[in-house]
Amino acid sequence: MKNLSVKDLSRIRKIVSVLVRHGFGQRLSSSPLNRFLPDRLDSVNHSLHWTERVRQAINDLGPTFVKLGQVLSVRPDLVPPVLAKELEKLQDRVDPVSFETIAKVLEEELQSTIPEVFRDFHEEPLASASIAQVHRASLRDGTAVAVKIQRPGIEPIIRSDIRILYTLARLVEGSLDLPGAYSAVDIVAEFETALHQEMDFLTEARNCDRFRTSLENSHPGIVVPRTFPKQSSRRVLTLELIDGEPVSTLVADDPRARTFSRTLMECTFTQVFENGFFHGDPHPGNIFLLEDGRTAYLDFGLMGTLSGEMQQMLAAIFTALVFRDAEGLTLAVYQAGGTAGRVDLKAFRKEVAFLMEKYHGAALKDFADRSNLLEIIQVAANHNIVLPREYVFLARTAALTYGQAQRLVPDIDIVEELKPLAQRLLTSRLDPGKVLGDTARMLLHARMSLSQLPLQANQFLSDLEAGRLQITVHDPETEKLRLEVRTGAYRLSVALCAVGMALSGSLMIASMDVRILGFPLIPLLGCLTLLSGVLGWVSLVAHIHLADHLSPRLIPRTLFSLFKYMFRRSGK
């Protein structure tokens, strides 16, 4: 957990001003950030949809928030689908840093001057993003390379923004309704991990090498650039330069379109079900077509890794989707995810069956546009099933893959197209050697569990004999009854006190006339006691009728907002 620094206060003020400028000032006024609000909220053009204003605000907040928006755009289990769709439009493009500045970073990281490492180095960047920019160059031996260099000063900004995100997450903890078992702090922690991995270019280099090795034998038509470790560091990555045309330049009537689409789907199938290591961001800008017809992958900052158990679950989900097995798909998704409460499997199966009927026989265009393979993730989250982030990344990878295919071959039946891959998957899973290996592993695990059984039984009996065994039963209805009894006792105590004070006050008012400095002392005390009794009765009635609508944490905040409003009005 990160602590907020005093240096971050100016950044918080800037964040608040950006949110106010885009029309979210009223929402902030009831939050702990209201102390940073300006005295007057500017009028905002509300003709724009709220999701558009969210996207524009994120874009104005800088690189960290843009990255967060891009992450949330592929998490329909965390944000509404309409917002996720809008966040997909976030573009991570900024003006490039001057060559003198970027050259200084390059030489500091490589501990050499540019002429000592490169034969030539182009000052004009090929691409420029918020975290890094890419330059064309050639090594001393003439090898053409692309050099990715991290922007100077970006790390302190990101560290500050992460601290602020943690602070904001803690402030909204408990008041923000998130699906499943997620919390705001959990989301920030996951984002921080992903962002730190993306900032470490050595991790990206390892991903690139592993991806190339996993595909070079099974898919000779796939090209993955080589890395150059001697010319790379944590903030500099040197890769083989890939010359080709982006996939976005292909059109539906291009003779290469159908071949490319099938190659892409088969390669994705291999990555997921055979290698367990897949490209997490295969959008059109990261896939190139070479002159010789081969396909090249670029950008390996976001990769997904699947365990053997995850691959088995995915195999069950994939085959159930293709062969329209709603029961099998329901159980596979349920077993693949964690649960944050009771799951109504009957209702979940009903929604799964509806989705399968909705998309069965649909053209690839309809399947990609309307489903994007992310709808099942959203339905699972609605039923308290939290799928691991790898599944969500995979759903996004599949959606991008099929999205590209739908633009090039819009009339292919997706079910018929995937059936050969599903049959191939089933055949490999039912291979006698694989089945025998799985059975042997299961027997080995069972043997290990059985060998521990006597020891665990002895431990249980020893704890039982010594009285150390405790059995705890949690009954929500019993807890509710306990709270009702406690509340009833509190109300009865207040009522008795109020009655006693009212009677005492009445008797004191009618008692002897004892004066101090000319004032009747006992009747005055009686009046105060009677007033206290009346206030006790009023508070009791309020507690009985408004207890479900009052939160002790909101009372000081509401009073503070009221005094602040009255002070502003009086100052005008």
Q: Quick one: pLDDT at residue 502?
A: 65
> Percentage of the chain with pLDDT > 90?
16
Based on the fold, state whether residues 221 and 264 are members of the same structural domain. Answer: yes
Domain stop point among 413, 430, 447:
430
* Spatial separation of the C-alpha atoms in residues 358 and 168, rounded to whole Å: 40
Domain stop point among 380, 403, 430:
430
Average pLDDT over residues 299-326: 79
* Spatial separation of the C-alpha atoms in residues 76 and 78, rounded to whole Å: 5
- Longest CA span, the chain: 113
Based on the fold, state whether residues 112 and 213 are members of the same structural domain. Answer: yes
Listed in sequence order, the residues at least 6 apart from 248 whose beta carbon sits closer than 8 Å to its beta carbon are 284, 285
Based on the fold, state whether residues 399 and 288 are members of the same structural domain. Answer: no
Sorting pLDDT into bands at 50, 70 and 90, what band is 560? low
Residue 157 lies in a domain: no
How far is residue 193 from each of residues 110, 163, 197, 199, 298, measured CA to CA in Å? 26, 13, 6, 10, 22
b/e code 408-434 from CB counts within 10 Å (16+ = b) = bbeebebbebbeebbeebeeebeeeee
Q: Quick one: pLDDT at residue 367?
A: 47
**In 3D, which of 486, 528, 485, 483 has the Cα closest to residue 504?**
528
Question: Does the structure show a pLDDT above 90 at 371?
Answer: no
Based on the fold, state whether residues 65 and 119 are members of the same structural domain. Answer: no
* Spatial separation of the C-alpha atoms in residues 189 and 164, rounded to whole Å: 12
* Spatial separation of the C-alpha atoms in residues 412 and 409, rounded to whole Å: 6
How far the first Cα of the chain sits from its last, in Å, is 43
Based on the fold, state whether residues 109 and 254 are members of the same structural domain. Answer: yes
Question: Does the structure show a pLDDT above 70 at 544?
Answer: no
Q: Quick one: pLDDT at residue 162?
A: 87
> Percentage of the chain with pLDDT > 70?
67
Sorting pLDDT into bands at 50, 70 and 90, what band is 2? very low
Pick the range with the lowest mean pLDDT from 96-100, 142-146, 330-334, 400-404.
400-404
* Among 37-46, 247-256, 437-446, 500-509, the range of highest mean pLDDT: 247-256
Residue-averaged pLDDT of the chain = 76
Q: Domain of 52?
A: 6-91+168-176
Give the three-state DSSP class for 305: strand
Question: What torsion do the CA atoms of 117, 123, 126, 131 make, to the nearest 10 degrees?
Answer: 80
Based on the fold, state whether residues 230 and 287 are members of the same structural domain. Answer: yes
Each residue of 179-231: pLDDT tens digit? 555 667 777 887 888 788 888 999 999 999 999 999 988 888 899 999 999 99
**In 3D, which of 84, 76, 81 has the Cα closest to residue 380?**
76
Classify residue 320 as left (phi > 0), alpha (psi -120 to 50) or beta: alpha
Question: Does the structure show a pLDDT above 60 at 422?
Answer: yes
Q: Quick one: pLDDT at residue 161?
A: 85
Residue 456 lies in a domain: no
Given a contact cutoff of 8 angstroms between Cβ atoms, the answer to whether 58 and 66 are in contact is yes
* Spatial separation of the C-alpha atoms in residues 253 and 237, rounded to whole Å: 37
Based on the fold, state whether residues 410 and 324 are members of the same structural domain. Answer: yes
Based on the fold, state whether residues 516 and 399 are members of the same structural domain. Answer: no
* Spatial separation of the C-alpha atoms in residues 418 and 319, rounded to whole Å: 9
CATH of the domain at 254: 1.10.510.10
Each residue of 259-290: pLDDT tens digit? 888 888 888 888 888 888 999 888 777 899 99
Listed in sequence order, the residues at least 6 apart from 484 whose beta carbon sits closer than 8 Å to its beta carbon are none
Q: Quick one: pLDDT at residue 206?
A: 95
- Count of domains forming the chain: 4
* Spatial separation of the C-alpha atoms in residues 353 and 241, rounded to whole Å: 47
Based on the fold, state whether residues 551 and 494 are members of the same structural domain. Answer: yes
* Spatial separation of the C-alpha atoms in residues 255 and 95, rounded to whole Å: 37
Based on the fold, state whether residues 49 and 73 are members of the same structural domain. Answer: yes
pTM given for the model: 0.65
Average pLDDT over residues 53-75: 81
Could you tell me the two tokens for 497? Answer: 């006190």
* Among 110-119, 175-184, 379-388, the range of highest mean pLDDT: 110-119
